[in-house]
């Protein structure tokens, strides 16, 4: 059974190879991908995010990152599961770790950018509560044509107490 752990210094090649596999199979590698792969710690962790890896018997089965955009907005990114591990719940475990990380840091929402071509991934995100929202014009990847968001906290004043 796989377990989830956080990024360690020697994990950069694993993080990159898992993500390159799906990106290059479906799309083309872009400059924002290259920037993250050159320095995952500096681009993600040093800015308040985290990288998670699913590991089983010292083999890395999958990975994902959580990027911090602000105190209230985090992003789920670079979700990848090795082909032999697909269909075993690894993606779900990674998504749950990412959601817990953002929630523990007080984020109001966790968003992601994806592609409608990745129907299996979109179903996984929907299963974990992500809902499609307008994409806007701020996406940095040409492959991104859908934005999804998961509200993590109630926004606004607390509901008034009622007496029974």
In this predicted model, what pLDDT tens digit does every residue of 74-132 receive, in sequence order?
Answer: 999 999 999 999 999 999 999 999 999 999 999 999 999 999 999 999 999 999 999 99
| Cα–Cα dist 86/38, whole Å | 26
Give me the domains of the chain, ranges plus CATH numbers.
3-110 (3.40.630.30)
pLDDT in tens, 28-83: 999 999 999 999 999 999 999 999 999 999 899 999 999 999 999 999 999 999 99
Handedness of CA 55, 58, 61, 63 (dihedral sign): positive
Contact (Cβ atoms closer than 8 angstroms) between residue 67 and residue 83: no
- C-beta contacts of 84-91 below 8 A and 24+ residues apart: 85/2, 85/54, 85/56, 85/61, 88/2, 88/61, 89/2, 90/2, 90/54, 90/61, 90/62, 91/62, 91/121, 91/124
């Amino acid at each position: 059974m796989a377990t989830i752990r956080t990024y360690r210094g020697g994990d950069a090649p694993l993080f990159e190879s898992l993500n390159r596999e799906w990106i290059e199979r479906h799309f083309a590698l872009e400059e924002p991908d290259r920037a993250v792969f050159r320095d995952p710690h500096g681009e993600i962790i040093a800015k308040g995010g985290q990288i998670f890896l699913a590991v089983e018997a010292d083999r890395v089965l999958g990975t994902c990152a959580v990027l911090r955009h602000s105190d209230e907005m985090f992003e789920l990114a670079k979700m990848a599961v090795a082909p032999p591990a697909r269909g075993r719940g690894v993606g779900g475990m990674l998504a749950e770790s990412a959601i817990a990380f953002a929630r523990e840091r007080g984020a109001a929402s966790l968003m992601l950018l994806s592609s409608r071509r990745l129907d299996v991934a979109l179903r996984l995100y929907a299963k974990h509560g992500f809902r499609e929202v307008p994409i806007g014009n701020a996406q940095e990847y040409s492959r991104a044509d859908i934005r999804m968001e998961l509200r993590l906290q109630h926004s606004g004043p607390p509901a008034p107490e009622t007496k029974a």
